[in-house]
């Protein structure tokens, strides 16, 4: 799969919120999409994997 210029275009905020209900507050998916934006060169598959990746423990 080819890398995309804007990973947020293929990042699914709804998937992120469904996989991580513990952080599914207002705009949680949008905030994660903003993080994904900082990861240029991800393939659509990699962006999806980021959405499903376990979150690190809160500090």
Backbone angles phi, psi at 40, to 5 degrees: -65, 150
Better-scored residue on pLDDT, 7 or 44: 44
Q: Is 2 a domain residue?
A: no
| Residue 44 to residue 22: CA distance in whole angstroms | 24
Residue 57 in domain:
no
The model's pTM is 0.34
Whether 46 is covered by a domain: the verdict is yes
Residue 1 lies in a domain: no
Q: Phi first, then psi: what are they for 57, rounded to 5°?
A: -60, 145
Q: In whole angstroms, what is the distance from residue 24 CA to residue 17 CA?
A: 5
- What's the total number of domains in the chain? 1
Domain membership flag for residue 58: no
| Nearest in space to 12 (alpha carbons), one of 1, 57, 20 | 20
pLDDT of residue 34: 67
Is residue 41, in this structure, part of any structural domain at all? Answer: yes
What confidence tens digit (pLDDT) does each residue in 5-32 have? 555 555 666 676 676 666 666 666 666 6
pLDDT at 1: 47
Rounded distance between C-alpha atoms, residue 8 and residue 45, angstroms? 12
Tell me the average pLDDT across 38-43. Answer: 70
């Amino acid at each position: 799969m080819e890398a995309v210029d804007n990973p947020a275009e293929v990042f699914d905020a709804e998937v992120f919120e469904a996989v991580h209900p513990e952080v599914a507050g207002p705009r949680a998916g949008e905030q994660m999409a903003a993080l994904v934006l900082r990861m240029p060169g991800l393939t659509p598959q990699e962006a999806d994997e980021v959405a499903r990746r376990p979150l690190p423990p809160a500090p």
